[in-house]
Amino acid sequence: MNPIRFFLLYLILLPAGLHAQIPWGRYSQSFKEGAMDKPETVALILAIPKENNSFWTVKESSDRFTEFARDSAMTRIRPEGAVARTTFDTARAQFFLHGVNARNAADYQFRVVEYPSKRVVVPWQAITRFTDAELSKVSGLPQMAYLGGYKTSLGKMLIVDVCRRATGAIVATNLIARESIRPVVTGIYASPDLDIFLQKLQYPWAKTRTSRLTYSLDGLRLPATNDNLVYVLKADIYAKTQLQYRLLHDGQVIRPWGDNEYDNSFIWLNKAEPGTYRLQIRYTAQPQHITECGFTVEPAWYQTIWFRLAMGGILLAVTALIVFVLLLIRQRAKTRLEAVRKQKAKMEMQVLYAQLNPHFVFNALSSIQGLVNRQDLKAANDYLSDFARLMRESLSNGSKEEVPLGRELQMMETYLKLEQLRFGFQYAIDVDKQLDVFGNNLPPMLWQPLLENAVKHGVASLQEAGRISVRVTRLADNLVVTITDNGNGIPSLEKTGGYGLPLTRNRIRLLNEINPEQPITLTFAVNRPTGTEAVLTLTHWLA
C-alpha cells in the first residue's frame, strides 16, 4: 500500500440551535492528499469521532490493513492509496463522497463489505443522500454525497467502495478497522521524582533527566512519607472523560469507577494511607479492557502493628486489671444463680419423672386388669413378666439425666410388646444404621407418653388392623424419633384428658432450660390423611 498523508480538519461547532447531519467539528476527517483541491474530484471522506485520535499513537495501523494489502484478489480491483484508519469506540464511522452531488449521483453507486469475512453489509446501491446546507456551511465544502454511518466488531474491518455505474470500475475505497486498545503505563513517578514529571509535562520536547528509581507495575513499595504517585499512559488523552480509573485499598473500593481528574494522559494519586492498593485503569472507548497496577504504602513507625500492639497491650493491661475484678464478682454471682436455676430445674424434672412413673404404672395395671378380666391368664403372666422388667429399667433410669439409645430402644420394644398383648396391633421399630445406639444418649422415657397416645388414641380400637411405626433417624447432627399410627387421629392433642403429654411437654421445657445449646422439640401431624405422627427432634445431640 502506497504511503499517503491524512489531513485532520478541526472546526468550531455550530452555535446552539443549528444542526448538521453530524457535528462536523467533533469529528476528524481523513481523505487522500489533493482530494479537496478541485470540486469535481471524486474522493471518499472518512469522519470518525475525535476521541479516537488519542490512540493513533498507540495503534495507528491494523493487521487487517496488512492482510488486505497482501490479498491480491481484493487489491487488484481497487485503486491504490486507499484511506485506512483505525477506530476504537462503538461510534459509527461516517462516510462522505466528495465530487458527487445531486446532479451526478446517478453515475455512481457504493457498497460496504466486512473483512476478512467478506460479508456484504450494504450491497451495491444508488446514492440518494447528500449533505445539507448546514453541514456544507460548517465544513466549507460543496454539497457531497452522504453514504451513512457504519461500525463493526473488534478485530474486523469495513471496506467502503464507490464505483462508476457505466464501467463498474471502483474509483474510491476507504478502510476502517476497529482495534482493541487497553491502557499501557509508560512511566511511574513518586514524590522523589515529581520534579522530573513536572518538567516533562511542561516541556515534553525538552531533554530532562531520568527517574532515579525503577518502579514495577505490581511490586511497587512506597514509604509512608510519599505523598504523590503518578502513572503516565501511552496515549494522547486530551479530555478527562476519555480515561477512567478505580482504586481499591486493602480489597475495599475507596474510589469507584469515574472520570480522571485531569485532561491529560496521566493519573495522579496523592496522600495514600498505609496499605495495599490496586489501581484499575480503562479507556471509556473500550471499558471492558482494564489494566491493573499494584502498590503498597508502608506504615510510619507509629502506624506499625507492633507499635499499636504495644500501646494496646499497655492500655489493655490497665483496663483488664480494673475490669477483671468487676467481671470476677459478677461472674461468681451469675454462676451461683445459674447453678441454683439448674438445680431447681433438675428437681422439677425429677418431680415430673416421679409423676410419670405412677401414671405409667396405672396404665400398665389397667392393661393387666383387662387381660385378667378376659381370663387370658397366660397373656397376663407374660405381661406381668415384661412389666416387671420394664419397671426395673424405669426405676434404674429414674436418677439418670441421660441413658444410652440402645437401652431406650429395648424399653420401647418391651413396652410395645406389652401393649400388643392387650390390643393385638402390629408394630415396627426402624433404626438408622448410621446411628451408634450405644455411643449416643438421650433423656429417659421421653417417648413413652407419645407411644401411649399412639396406642390409646390411635390403634386401640383397630385391634389387629392397627399399625404403629417407630423410626429413629439421623438428620445432620440431630436425632429424630418419629412415631406414626394409622388410627383416626386425635381431634385435639391438648384435650386428650391424660397426663402423659403435658408432663412430657414440661420435661422438654425444663431440659431446654438446663441445656439451651441442645434444644428438644415435639411436633404433631394429625390426620395425614389418617392417623397421627409425633416427631421428637433432639437438636445437636449427635457428634
Q: Would you kindly state where each structural domain of the chain is located, as residue ranges?
A: 24-178, 185-301, 304-351, 355-538
Same CATH topology for 185-301 and 355-538: the answer is no
Mean pLDDT of 22-51: 92
CB neighbours of residue 297 within 10 Å: 22
In sequence order, which residues have a C-beta less than 8 Å from that of residue 120 and are 6 or more positions away? Answer: 111, 112, 113, 114
DSSP tag of 13: P
Residue 494 CA to residue 25 CA, distance in Å, equals 87
Most confident by average pLDDT, 12-16, 286-290, 343-347:
286-290
> Is 241 buried (19+), middle (13-18) or exposed (0-12) by CB count in 10 A?
exposed
Residue 193 CA to residue 300 CA, distance in Å, equals 21
The verdict on domain 185-301 having CATH code 2.60.40 is yes
Residue 505 CA to residue 249 CA, distance in Å, equals 55
pLDDT at residue 398 is higher than 80? no
Cell 390409646 belongs to residue: 456
| pLDDT level of residue 357 (50, 70, 90 thresholds) | low
Q: Are 31 and 7 in contact (CB under 8 A)?
A: yes
Q: Taking Cα atoms as reference points, which of 422, 365, 352 lies closest to residue 391?
A: 365
Contacts 24+ apart (CB under 8 A), 161-167: 161/78, 161/110, 161/111, 161/112, 161/113, 162/42, 162/44, 162/97, 162/100, 162/108, 162/109, 162/110, 163/108, 163/109, 163/110, 163/124, 164/107, 164/108, 165/106, 165/107, 165/108, 165/109, 166/107
Residue 180 CA to residue 285 CA, distance in Å, equals 10
Residue 394 CA to residue 357 CA, distance in Å, equals 8
* pLDDT cut 70: percent of the chain above it: 84
pLDDT at residue 368 is higher than 60? yes
Q: What is the pLDDT of residues 485-541, one digit of tens each?
A: 998 776 665 555 566 778 788 888 888 888 888 899 999 887 666 788 999 999 998
Main-chain dihedrals φ then ψ at residue 318, nearest 5 degrees: -65, -45
Mean pLDDT of 333-341: 66
Instruction: Give the gyration radius of the chain's Cα atoms.
Output: 46
Which pTM was predicted?
A: 0.54
Main-chain dihedrals φ then ψ at residue 109, nearest 5 degrees: -145, 165
Q: Taking Cα atoms as reference points, which of 174, 179, 183 lies closest to residue 153?
A: 179
Q: Are 469 and 483 in contact (CB under 8 A)?
A: yes
Q: What is the pLDDT of residues 420-473, one digit of tens each?
A: 877 889 999 999 988 888 888 888 888 888 888 888 888 888 888 899 999 999
| pLDDT level of residue 76 (50, 70, 90 thresholds) | very high
Q: Which CATH code fits 355-538?
A: 3.30.565.10
Residue 189 CA to residue 198 CA, distance in Å, equals 10
DSSP string, 469-532: EEEEEEETTEEEEEEEE-S---S-GGGSS-SHHHHHHHHHHHHHHH-TTS-EEEEEEE-SSSSE
What integer pLDDT is reported at residue 527 of this predicted model?
A: 67
- DSSP β-ladder status, 286-297 and 220-222: parallel
CB neighbours of residue 64 within 10 Å: 23
